Amino acid sequence: MFKFDVCIIGGCGRVGLPLAIAFAGKGLQVAVYDLDKSRLQMVRSGVMPFAEKGCARLLKKVAGKNLTATDDPQDIGRARFVVVTIGTPVEEHLNPRFADMISFFDDIHRYLVEGQHIILRSTVYPGATENIRSYLKRKGAKVRLTFCPERIAEGRALEELAGLPQIVSGFDKKSVEEVSRLFRRLTGDIIVTEPVEAELAKLFTNNWRYIQFAVANQFYMLADRYNIDYYRIYHAMTYHYPRTQGLPRPGFAAGPCLFKDTMQLSAFSNNNYFLGHSAMLINEGLPNYIVDKLKMQCRGEGDDPGLKGRAVGILGMAFKAGSDDERDSLSFKLKKILEMSAGRVYCSDPYVKRDYFISAEKLVQLSDIIILATPHKVYRKLAIPEDKILVDIWNLYGKAGGEL
Ligand SMILES: NC(=O)c1ccc[n+]([C@@H]2O[C@H](COP(=O)([O-])OP(=O)(O)OC[C@H]3O[C@@H](n4cnc5c(N)ncnc54)[C@H](O)[C@@H]3O)[C@@H](O)[C@H]2O)c1
């Protein structure tokens, strides 16, 4: 009855495309529907629009065969399952943009046909699935609706789609059974919850991670402020000590999910989410801390203009190591602060491309101060002369935490 088994909306995105490739790899007929025409063109020709381990090879195999890239909304009505993976950002007051999802369903509900199953996969505000159910009912759409959150980490999508348990939730047994059967194509591990429980499980997970990073960053700043080597303390705390194994290393905690999902939960708690807000202040404050410390360190005497007279290079502009995703990267925040405080600012990244970026080698040559913002592995081989100031919160160069 249906031409496609699955249609992924937002199918050229970081969540949608790996999922589409995974389903197509299992032999399902998959449509990838997106508004981004240049990404669609790439996917159609079997080329990944971004880096994701294992996807390039698999996409080449399935593109144009059982994976079809389309901008024809009629194709939405030709799929048994419709998976929604569009972005769910927060607005300028850091509140969720509820209207986006509703206006999305305003656009597509006319293409839905009886017997289809809509799966929400984007990270949504608690209660969103219930609201969409009421909306679809009002519009007379005779479709099933479930919420099955995506929990992959970028760069490990294929491995995690197969290895992580899948949370599924719905309003009736039949819908939950149907969607569980679909996801069993990818993983044998299914967890069933109520929709609002699944929405909160996803938000709590991201918030937990963000708070863990904040603890690490707060400890780092506490010690570093007194010029105490945090990595020696970190080693003492975590070496063969089971109860501190979850403590991450300090570093920029950024990207398109953790911050905005913490703000979604904050809006849900009527802005009384002290832990989440504290985590945000700590993580977002790390670039300011680095620049303040450099100002102190370079405080010039007499005619020395201090930091204003120094060139600073930022190594790594992606939001995390090994990634080409620059969305909400704190490297760009650091750049902005430095542009007001330092003489010149240079940027470099091996994966993110911008006209004004320079090579890492050139950056080292031109800069008096080098800040390792994103610990891409390739930087390990970079020679940094001893006469340069190096800020390496990640301890990629292993200069901190040494023997006495
Ligand atoms: N990136 C991650 O690692 C990750 C992990 C888990 C969950 N999530 C959640 O998944 C959702 C998507 O995130 P993402 O990183 O994949 O975003 P993304 O921006 O990479 O992908 C979204 C895609 O949707 C497309 N799109 C937007 N509006 C559309 C519309 N009306 N019709 C068709 N296509 C449309 C965009 O062109 C884009 O290709 C968010 O809710 C995010 O919080 C992301």
| pLDDT tens profile 300-350 | 777 888 999 999 999 999 999 999 999 999 999 999 999 999 999 999 999
Last residue of a domain, one of 161, 193, 225: 193
Provide the number of structural domains found in the chain: 2
**pLDDT exceeds cutoff 80 at 404:** no
Residues 70, 142: one domain?
yes
Residues 272, 379: one domain?
yes
Residue 134 forms part of a structural domain:
yes
* Domain span holding position 289: 202-391
**pLDDT exceeds cutoff 80 at 73:** yes
For a substitution probing ligand 1, which of 86, 97, 122 has the most ligand atoms within 8 Å of its CB?
Answer: 86
Residues 13, 109: one domain?
yes
Give the burial class of 368: count Cβ atoms within 10 A of its Cβ; 0-12 exposed, 13-18 middle, 19 or more buried: middle
Last residue of a domain, one of 140, 172, 193: 193
Note the pLDDT of residue 106. Answer: 95
Atom of ligand 1 nearest to the CA of 36: 37
Residue 398 forms part of a structural domain:
no
Residue 402 forms part of a structural domain:
no
Residues 177, 266: one domain?
no
Closest CA to 229 of 71, 392, 112, 368: 392
How confident is the model over 151-165, as pLDDT tens digits? 999 999 999 999 999
As a whole number, mean pLDDT of residues 276-280 equals: 97
Question: Average pLDDT over the chain, rounded to whole?
Answer: 96
How does DSSP assign 214-228, residue by residue? Answer: HHHHHHHHHHHTTT-
Residues 232, 371: one domain?
yes
How confident is the model over 353-380, as pLDDT tens digits? 999 999 999 999 999 999 999 999 999 9
Give the domain CATH number at 174.
3.40.50.720
Residue 143 forms part of a structural domain:
yes
**pLDDT exceeds cutoff 70 at 129:** yes
For residues 330 and 335, what is the distance between their CA atoms, to the nearest angstrom?
9
Last residue of a domain, one of 138, 161, 193: 193
Residue 57 forms part of a structural domain:
yes
**pLDDT exceeds cutoff 90 at 143:** yes
Residues 231, 143: one domain?
no
Residues 184, 273: one domain?
no
Residues 188, 319: one domain?
no
**Which residue's alpha carbon is nearest to atom 36 within ligand 1?**
10
Please state the φ and ψ torsions of residue 395, each to the nearest 5 degrees. 60, 40
Residues 22, 111: one domain?
yes
**Which residue's alpha carbon is nearest to atom 41 within ligand 1?**
122
Residue 82 CA, ligand 1 centroid: distance in Å: 14
Our answer on whether the CB atom of 14 is closer than 6 Å to any ligand 1 atom is yes
Q: What is the pTM of this model?
A: 0.96
For residues 306 and 342, what is the distance between their CA atoms, to the nearest angstrom?
8
Residues 178, 283: one domain?
no
Residue 299's pLDDT band (cuts 50, 70, 90): confident
Note the pLDDT of residue 195. Answer: 98
How confident is the model over 241-267, as pLDDT tens digits? 999 999 999 999 999 999 999 999 999
Residue 83 CA, ligand 1 centroid: distance in Å: 11
Residues 282, 334: one domain?
yes
As a whole number, mean pLDDT of residues 55-71 equals: 98
Residues 189, 207: one domain?
no
For a substitution probing ligand 1, which of 7, 33, 35 has the most ligand atoms within 8 Å of its CB?
Answer: 35
Note the pLDDT of residue 78. Answer: 98
Helix (H) or strand (E) holding 152: none
**pLDDT exceeds cutoff 80 at 403:** no
Single-letter code of the amino acid located at 358: I
Our answer on whether the CB atom of 125 is closer than 6 Å to any ligand 1 atom is no
Note the pLDDT of residue 183. Answer: 98
Note the pLDDT of residue 303. Answer: 81
More confident residue, 271 or 205: 205
Our answer on whether the CB atom of 73 is closer than 6 Å to any ligand 1 atom is no
Residue 399 forms part of a structural domain:
no
276-281 long-range contacts, CB within 8 A, separation 24+? 276/207, 276/210, 276/211, 278/214, 279/207, 279/210, 279/211, 279/213, 279/214, 280/210, 280/214
The answer to whether 225 touches 238, Cβ cutoff 8 Å, is no
Residue 397 forms part of a structural domain:
no
More confident residue, 404 or 21: 21
**Which residue's alpha carbon is nearest to atom 25 within ligand 1?**
10
Copy the structure tokens of residue 111.
């293409």
Note the pLDDT of residue 350. Answer: 98
Residue 118 forms part of a structural domain:
yes
